[in-house]
Amino acid sequence: MTIAPAAALRPRFVLAGNPSVLWALLVLAIFTLGVSFLSEGMGVGLISTSFVKTLGKTLCLCLAAVAMDVVWGYCGILSLGHMAFFGLGGYAIGQWLMTARTTEIVAQSLAGQPLPPTPRELEQAVATQIFGVVGADEFPWIWAFSDSLGLQLLMVVLVPGLLAGLFGWLAFRSRVTGVYLSILTQGMTLALSLWLFQNDSGLRGNNGLSGLQNIPGLDGWGQATLSVAFLWGSALALALGYVLFAWLTSGRRGSVIRAIRDDEARVRFLGYGVEGTKLLVFTLTAMVTAIAGALYYPQAGIINPGEVAPLASVYLAVWVAIGGRGRLYGAALGAALVSLLSSWFTSGGVPDVPLGFATIRWTDWWTVLLGLGFVAVTLLAPKGLGGLFDLVPRRPSRRQGDWGPDDGAWRREEG
């Protein structure tokens, strides 16, 4: 390989060199404005509030998928634990939402009494209200910051970041790679969900956190307006995340990340810090996924340990694979398409197919279709849906000759 000319090394702003990012942001902006215009909360009311919420949630899933794409499609770490970070983000914000909301309600109900409640009485009543279902009547230690929005927002990124950092440091340090790493991340996810399922974990066990759709202090807004606000919030987060990851995967740093995917040992021999890069990518994507979760669950309204189960993380990988790994818009597209299709099929929106001897009810057979469709995509279209964009003709490159045999590497683009 020849040394690249100096001009190629000069830092350029990521958006300038990468038109797909601009296109993606444009599509996202048009989509968000369009939905707002058609929504009940701000516009003509063609789209119901619950569907606006579904779209907002889908944007959050897209952000998680984009993060997953960076860690898997670019860095080659098939993490089967990113939905656990997503869930942790949801739990962190849920703690504040639930505490603040319950405090409002309890304060109202105590206001009728002759004496104003003491702070201890108030806390006791709130705790009984929240933890009564698991037979406890005081705040567990993990709720220590739950009365402060700022601290709890910090927890949204800190807790998953620390967990991912610790786990990644342990795993990458001992050079656990490939399927081993996938299984370990799956084990971590399973451990986390089993822990959350316990009543004495302090996060209401099986019941999870509920009532998250009511945002304290914003009672006057109404769900219709809130749903649009969250749609914008999710779109903004997705846009920022997209630019962040486009920047991360561009330039020399991006080349190192992709090189780690293609041949880790060779990158190490070339003198790059493989462990540090992997840890950075793993932790950063975990944090972004957690932010996506923190935006998702106030729209969903409820979070329970089932959302953290290993299966959810595998589905995230499935979305990314269907959308197309190694390109950010592919991941977002896959997540949006599959999750929307999923909710369309499983909600009974698709008409049943009568076969004479039996009827195919899509609520029953959708999972089968998804599973087999996924196998088909893996086998027949490894580039996923994003591969369709390659069919768009481009300006031919002036360079002639061999670009290397491996489809996964970006030698042509970097050449």
Residues that bind other proteins (CB under 8 A): 72, 76, 78, 113-121, 167, 170-171, 173-176, 178-180, 182-184, 186-188, 190-192, 194-195, 197-198, 200, 310-311, 314, 317-318, 321, 364-365, 367-368, 370-375, 378-379, 382
Tokens of 64: 């998680």
End-to-end CA distance of the chain: 9
Chain CA centroid to CA 350, Å: 27
Return the closest-CA partner of residue 88 out of 150, 152, 145: 152
> In whole angstroms, how close is the CB of 190 to other proteins at the nearest point?
5
> In whole angstroms, how close is the CB of 18 to other proteins at the nearest point?
26
Q: Which class for 260: exposed (0-12), middle (13-18), buried (19 or more C-beta within 10 A)?
A: buried
Which CB atom, from 155 or from 317, has the smaller least distance to other proteins? 317
Alpha carbons 229 and 412: distance in angstroms, whole number: 42
> In whole angstroms, how close is the CB of 318 to other proteins at the nearest point?
7
Q: Which residue, chain included where needed, has tokens 């889908």?
A: 58
Alpha carbons 274 and 75: distance in angstroms, whole number: 10
> In whole angstroms, how close is the CB of 121 to other proteins at the nearest point?
8
Which CB atom, from 122 or from 280, has the smaller least distance to other proteins? 122
> In whole angstroms, how close is the CB of 381 to other proteins at the nearest point?
12
Which CB atom, from 174 or from 397, has the smaller least distance to other proteins? 174
CB neighbour list of residue 157: distance below 8 Å, 6 or more residues apart:
89, 287, 290, 291
Which CB atom, from 179 or from 355, has the smaller least distance to other proteins? 179
> In whole angstroms, how close is the CB of 90 to other proteins at the nearest point?
20
- Grouping H, G, I as helix, E, B as strand and the rest as coil, residue 360 is strand
Q: Which helix (H) or strand (E) holds 354?
A: strand 353-354
Which CB atom, from 52 or from 75, has the smaller least distance to other proteins? 75
* 303, 306, 307, 310: CA torsion to nearest 10: 160
> In whole angstroms, how close is the CB of 167 to other proteins at the nearest point?
7
Question: Which stretches of 263-327 are DSSP H helices?
Answer: 264-269, 274-300, 310-323
Helix axis angle for 149-173 and 274-300, nearest 10°, is 140
> In whole angstroms, how close is the CB of 202 to other proteins at the nearest point?
13
Which CB atom, from 23 or from 269, has the smaller least distance to other proteins? 269
Which CB atom, from 124 or from 225, has the smaller least distance to other proteins? 124
Which CB atom, from 41 or from 76, has the smaller least distance to other proteins? 76
Q: Which amino acid is at 328?
A: L
CB neighbour list of residue 272: distance below 8 Å, 6 or more residues apart:
256, 259, 260
Note whether 290 and 157 are within 8 A (CB). yes
Which CB atom, from 104 or from 244, has the smaller least distance to other proteins? 104
> In whole angstroms, how close is the CB of 203 to other proteins at the nearest point?
13
